[in-house]
Amino acid sequence: MVATARYGRRMLRSLFVLALVTVSFTACKKEAAKQANPAPATVTTGTVGSDGVRRIAIEASKAGYTPDRVPGKPGEKLTLVFTRTFEADCISQLKTPDGKLVDLPMNKPVEVAVTVPQTGELGFACGMDMFHGVVVAQPSS
């Protein structure tokens, strides 16, 4: 009878530990999913300076550009602030919407001024044209 009680306590302890590990793992997966799918940019993303220009931080990483879609009001002036966080030749250069190639040094912000088109979108890409992003005109409703 004593052996059965010990066995039962061990089983309960093992089940408790298993449940705790499962809950922790699930929480980690949910956090990783949040990081993998950041909230999309909106026409209010970023900060507006005293000059009225909106600045949007864009990370250049192994996954490409985050955010990769930047909505703006037609004619709005933006400063896209690119910061490369991944060591790779592909993402080390940026092809700006006007076609210029700009170096993106590791962990150093690089500013690119753009004006949101009246309609449609402006594209930007890595130097090898593997990763892409767009500035999209989003008329106010």
pLDDT of residue 139: 81
Q: Tell me how far apart the alpha carbons of residues 93 and 95 are, in angstroms, rounded to a whole number.
A: 7
pLDDT of residue 72: 95
**Boundaries of every domain in the chain:** 1-37, 47-137
- Structural tokens at position 38: 């950041």
HSE value, Cβ hemisphere, 13 Å, CA-based, for 49: 10
Q: Which residues pair with 112 in a beta bridge?
A: 80
pLDDT of residue 27: 38
Q: Tell me how far apart the alpha carbons of residues 133 and 71 are, in angstroms, rounded to a whole number.
A: 11
pLDDT of residue 84: 97
Q: Which residues contact 67 (CB under 8 A, 6 or more apart)?
A: 38, 40, 41, 45, 56, 58, 133
pLDDT of residue 93: 96
Chunked in runs of 10, what are the mean pLDDT values of the chain (141 residues)?
60 53 40 55 83 95 96 96 94 94 97 96 95 92 57
Identify the CATH number of the domain defined by range 47-137: 2.60.40.420
